Amino acid sequence: MTAQRRARRRLGLGGGILLLVVLAIASLAIGSKDIPFDQIWPALLDPTGSDTALIVTGLRVPRTVLGVLVGAALGVAGALIQAFTRNPLADPGVLGVNAGAALGVSVSIVFLGLEGIGQLVWPALIGAVVATVGVYAVGRSGRSGATPIRMTLAGVGIGAVLAGITSAISLSNPQRFHSMLGWSAGTLVGPPLSTSGVIAPLVGVGLVVALGISRDLNALGLGEDLASSLGSRVVVTRSLAVLAVTLLAGAATAAAGPIGFIGLMVPHVARWITGPDQRWIMAYSVVLGPCVLLLSDIVGRIVMRPAELPVGIVTAFVGAPILISLARRSKASAL
Amino acid sequence: MTTPAFEPLRASDATLAYDGRVISHQLDVGIPEASFTVIVGPNACGKSTLLRGLARLLRPRSGQVLLYGRDIHSLHTKEVARRVGLLPQTSIAPDGITVADLVTRGRHPHQSAFQQWSKADEAAVVAAMEATQVAALSDRRVDELSGGQRQRVWVAMALAQETGLLLLDEPTTFLDIAYQYELLELFRRLNEGGRTIVAVLHDLNQASRYASHVIAMSEGRIAAEGPPTDVITADLVNDVFGLPAHVFPDPVSGTPLVVPLGAPGEVFRDHPSTTS
Amino acid sequence: MTAADEIRFERPQAVLRRRGFSARISRRAVIVFGMLSILAIVLMVASLAIGDFALSIAQVVGALLGGETGMAHTVVIEWRLPRVLAAAIFGLALGASGALFQSLTRNPLGSPDIIGFDAGAYTGVLIATLVVHASGVYSTTFAAIAGGLATAAAVYLFAYRRGVQGFRLIVVGIGVTAMLGSLNTWLLLRASSEEAIDASYWGAGSLANVDYSHVTPAAAIIAVLLIALASLQRGARALEFGDDAARQLGVSVERTRLLLVIVGVALSATVTAFAGPIAFIALSAPQIARSLTRSAGVSPGAAAMTGCVLLLAADVVAQHALPITLPVGIVTVVLGGVYFVWLLIAEGRRS
């Protein structure tokens, strides 16, 4: 690891943070009614001063803040899952988080009549946590314990069951079908700032745990035997990784619906830039995740003015071309 | 030596390369019939590449590899598989496969859609497992075996293929010293029974003890070839391996015994250096 | 005493030798295959008998063999048989395809859908029904095939760079599938509820609109593909040892692998074209078969039969078990997932 490479990594991270700030400001400015940059700061200072201020603080700030939180959470959750399963193509939904949240939401929409993403945060969160606990319980059974392959298989199995039940529930009630579909598209619009307040602690704890086990994850990447001999506590690391993924991905999905591709693509890109050190991958994921998400949200506002495209639909169109073009570079033919 | 020995397998002016990186230039080397040929050389000298080229796994960029005088790449793969068997350096075993199942897969070139388990297949598998002493492990899973046991199972699979030419890439890896010599004795017996053996070996002393023909390679070229006494000399060991050594006849077999005087470039501290 | 007794295989083997022909198969595999076949027939007959117009077994058998005429004949032959045959045949295809890909990728989660055919087929169907508002029995199938092939071609082209490399193909497949998935969600969002629900039924995998005009060509195509698979099977097993080992055993590695991929994708794509993407059969049937036969590898024969039984059972449940009719794909997902998890727990206890 040359000093030049280290310097480039730090520079890259700085550049990423700068990009994030720019995108955040853009997110405050752009929309069905574009707000000039010089009016943003006054609007922030005086929230109810004018219509403009209301737009900025009432609509744009909540979605931007949520975008940053959700993007960071999904990015790091993806990094954790890819490190945990040693599979560069894993995404956080593999442990059943999305399926659980979806079931919670569909039950609430169809049987409890709840609507609007603000009301659906808690059912989604409960569903996500219950699903992951179930996956963990199944994965842990048996003598080999919660190895990544068992967890993945349990996640696939339980995720499928929950997804099937969710589909059955949604299809059984045509009136509510549209609401369910809307939730499943993933959106940053709707939740008030208080929702961000609710999930921020969860995301915060998740990020702290993730950072805490990042060095152990590096060791785990070398294989369990070697990791143990290097002093890393394998079982503890794995359990904490699952906990962190649940908190991060669960909170993100609960607040904004299932937003795909960020958890898959961001850590992947981060690894291509930084190399296999998990600490750097997570640092980059915390920054790149919100960048991609905010960019997608902004694009969603522009592309179909005055209507909006839900962010969950745009992320794939923003992220996939990047992923594909990176995969086409001959150097990127493996991890 | 009056008439040149017939060579069932020969690299004729063959240049072997991987994806742009040339390993061996214009190799011209043959394997004498019914010989026990051992290829020696330092790491990355091209021994494995030569073996793979001879086994038809690698197409020469220029030149040819000849099997019984014909271009090996013009022959049907199945025909080659019935004549030339290769034991690669590392192999993948399908998940959960048992020893018996793995050895029987070696019969593939002799089987067809309609003949999937003939008496000949069965006999070959039994003989192969007995020769390598893995019959007792017959119903065990390969991934549960020790490294040495696994290696013997892979050798059994190569034996079951019943080829006249048997190419072995470092077959004694992972084996303890007793099994190493047991395996080498097995190869000697097979050789005496008429099979041509070509083995890449790391241990020069084993090479000189068992080989009837030694090929020494260095940096992609043939440094020397011939009987062990002619090839394995102190000069060659120093030139090819950079290792100062004393070479004298083995007290047991009479073949050249290599005893290092020191690591490359230096001499062992507590041994007087002697002229060879 | 045959020499087979001298080799201790893990399970007792049955050896058959006649003039010019010899074969060896684990006895348990034969028994399992036989029992699965019987189970399949039972399910087929049951499926023909149950329904709003209930029939007795005798009536069903009579209608099939030609004895019965009248209402029973109409119900069995014209209404129910196409769907039952479709379930059986599509189940065979999906099970075999899954086994093929899991063997090829040496991964128990290997799935035939790396090339994005399923997502593309759905996009084609959505565009046809929601945007163009085409109707008619063949338009859906045609749109599915067109969309699926276009997507497969696009994925292949994007992944092509001096040849197609496995990892790149998978990544491009994931990217394209994600984009199409988002596009599909958006198309559904902007449509009316009824249209969206109808389209979602297809998207979940449904045998509801399958009749003889679908089953007959599908059966022919699948039969050809299964024969091709059987002929490639020896090479496929050699490939499990890695390219070098397979090559030195006499297998033309590149050609065999390419043919296997084409056959595998074609089997799965045929089912998707006619019934929508039916989930989980290709994924779970090979693993269930492997557990039943207690064997190490995934054998396409047992996997195909397991897939057949699974899909037949799922279709019965989808039509009759709940007050509303569900698309069969939802039942396969749930059933497949439940058994998957149960297998995992059982295997964990055993290992």
pLDDT digits (tens, 9 = 90+) for A257-295: 899 889 988 998 888 888 888 899 999 999 999 999 999
Residue A31 CA to residue C213 CA, distance in Å, equals: 51
Q: What is residue A222's three-state secondary structure?
A: coil
Q: Do C244 and B57 touch (CB under 8 A)?
A: yes
Provide the 3-class DSSP secondary structure of residue C277. Answer: coil
| pLDDT, average across residues B245-260 | 92
- Per-chain mean pLDDT for chain B: 88
User: What residues of chain C lie within 8 A of the CB of A152, using their CB?
Assistant: 109
Contacts across the A-C interface (CB distance below 8 Å): 153
C344–A150: do the CB atoms touch at under 8 Å?
Answer: yes
CATH code of the domain covering residue A45: 1.10.3470.10
Q: Note whether A177 contacts C344, CB cutoff 8 Å.
A: no
**Other Cβ atoms within 10 Å of B129 Cβ, number:** 27
CA distance C230 to chain B (A): 9
Residue whose tokens read 């992944």? C159
Q: In this model, does residue B2 exceed pLDDT 50?
A: no
Q: Any CB–CB contact under 8 A between B30 and chain C?
A: no
3-state secondary structure of B29: strand
End-to-end alpha-carbon separation of chain B, Å?
29
Q: At CB < 8 Å, which residues of chain C contact B?
A: 3-4, 6-10, 15, 17, 20-24, 106, 231, 234, 237-238, 240-242, 244-245, 247-252, 296-297
User: Which amino acid, residue A99?
Assistant: A
Q: Closest Cα of chain C to B28: distance in Å?
A: 22
Q: What is the mean pLDDT of chain A?
A: 85
- Is A25 buried (19+), middle (13-18) or exposed (0-12) by CB count in 10 A? middle
* Of A156, A72, A70, the residue nearest A117 (C-alpha): A70
Q: Is the pLDDT of residue A232 over 80?
A: no
Pick from C268, C288, C189, C254: nearest CA to C226: C268
Beta bridge partners of A83: none
ipTM: 0.85
Stretch A156-183: mean pLDDT: 87
Closest to C149 (Cα-Cα) out of C101, C185, C116: C116
Q: State residue B270's pLDDT score.
A: 57
The answer to whether residues A204 and A268 touch, using CB atoms and an 8 Å cutoff, is no
Contact B97 C23 (CB under 8 A): no
Contacts of residue B234, defined as CB under 8 A and 6 or more positions apart, other chains included, come to B244, B245, B246, B247, B276
A153/C109 touch (CB, cutoff 8 Å), yes or no: yes
Place of tokens 């995108």: A23
For residue B5, the 8-state DSSP code is P
Q: Scan for tokens 């064997």, then name that residue.
A: C295
pLDDT given at position C85: 95
B51 in Cβ contact with B39 (< 8 Å): yes
Contacts of A164 in chain C (CB under 8 A): 330-331, 333-334, 337
Interface list for B 117-146 with C (CB within 8 A): 117-119, 121-123, 125-126, 129, 138-139, 141
Q: Say if A and C touch: at least 3 Cβ pairs within 8 Å.
A: yes
Q: CA nearest C165 in A: which residue? A: A333
Contact C244 B98 (CB under 8 A): no
| % residues pLDDT > 90 (chain A) | 32
Is residue B81 within 8 Å of C202, Cβ to Cβ?
no
Domain count, chain A: 1
Least CB–CB distance from A160: residue in C194, C280, C351 = C280
* C250·B105 Cβ contact <8 A: no
Whether chains B and A touch (3+ CB pairs under 8 A) is answered by no
Q: Which among C170, C193, C340 is the nearest to A174, CB-wise?
A: C193
A333 neighbourhood in chain C, CB within 8 Å: 165, 167-168
CA distance A316 to A301: 15
* Distance set, CA C299 to CA A42, A63, C324, C341, C343 (Å): 70, 52, 36, 21, 18
* Sheet containing B9-18, strands listed edge to edge, beginning at the edge strand earlier in sequence: B21-31, B9-18, B62-67, B70-71
Nearest CA of chain B to the CA of C318: how many Å? 35
Residue type, C14: A
Residue B248 has phi, psi (to 5 degrees) of: -145, 170
- Residue C237 with chain B: CB contacts under 8 Å: 105
Which chain A residue is nearest to residue C199, measuring alpha carbons? A171
Beta strand pairing call for C13-18 and B256-260: unpaired
Residue-wise pLDDT tens digits, B198-212: 999 999 999 999 999
Q: How many helices (H) and strands (E) would you count in chain C?
A: 14, 2
Outline where DSSP puts E strands in chain A.
none
Return the number of CB contacts < 8 Å for B and C. 114
Residue among A110, A144, A328 with most chain C CBs within 10 A, to mutate: A328
Which amino acid type is present at position A40?
Answer: I
Domain limits for position A306: 3-333
Partners of B84 in the beta sheet?
B165
- The band of A330, judged by pLDDT with boundaries at 50, 70 and 90, is low
What are the tens digits of pLDDT across the range B72-128?
Answer: 999 988 899 999 999 988 888 888 899 999 999 999 999 988 888 888 999 999 999
Helix axes C137-159, C117-126, angle to 10 degrees: 140
Residues within 8 A of A (CB atoms), C 283-322 only: 283, 322
pLDDT per residue, tens digit, chain C (351 aa), is 344 457 888 888 888 888 888 888 888 889 999 999 999 999 999 998 888 888 888 888 888 887 777 788 888 888 889 999 999 999 999 999 999 988 888 877 777 777 788 889 999 999 988 888 877 767 888 888 889 889 988 888 888 876 666 778 888 888 898 899 899 999 998 888 888 888 888 888 889 888 888 899 999 999 999 999 999 999 999 998 888 889 899 899 889 988 998 899 899 989 998 998 998 889 889 988 988 888 877 789 999 999 999 999 999 999 888 888 889 999 988 887 887 788 788 877 775
| CA-based nearest residue in chain A for residue C110 | A153
Residue of A158, A166, A126, A162 whose CA lies nearest to A139? A158
Asked if C74 and C130 count as a contact pair (C-beta separation under 8 A), the reply is: no
**Is the predicted pLDDT of residue B265 greater than 70, yes or no?**
no
Three-state DSSP class for C321? coil
Chain B residue closest in CA terms to C237: B105
The alpha carbons of chain A give a radius of gyration, in whole angstroms, of 20
Q: For residue A146, is pLDDT > 80?
A: no
The CA-based angle C200-C206-C210, given to 5 degrees, is 125
Q: Does residue A2 surpass a pLDDT of 90? A: no
> What's phi and psi for A259, nearest 5 deg?
-105, 115
Closest CA to A316 of A298, A287, A286, A296: A296
C155–A contact, CB cutoff 8 A:
no
Residue C275 CA to residue C195 CA, distance in Å, equals 17
The b/e string for C200-237 (b: 16+ C-beta within 10 A; e otherwise) is: bbbbbbbbbebeeebbeebbebbeebbebbeebbbbbb
Sequence letter at residue C293: T
Which residue type sits at A154?
A
CB contact under 8 A, B108 and C238: yes
Find residue B210's DSSP bridge partners: none
CB atoms within 10 A of CB A87: 16
Per-residue CA distances from C65 to C62, C69, C71, C82, C220 (Å): 5, 10, 15, 16, 22
Decide if B75 touches C, using CB distance below 8 A: no
Given a contact cutoff of 8 angstroms between Cβ atoms, the answer to whether A128 and A101 are in contact is yes
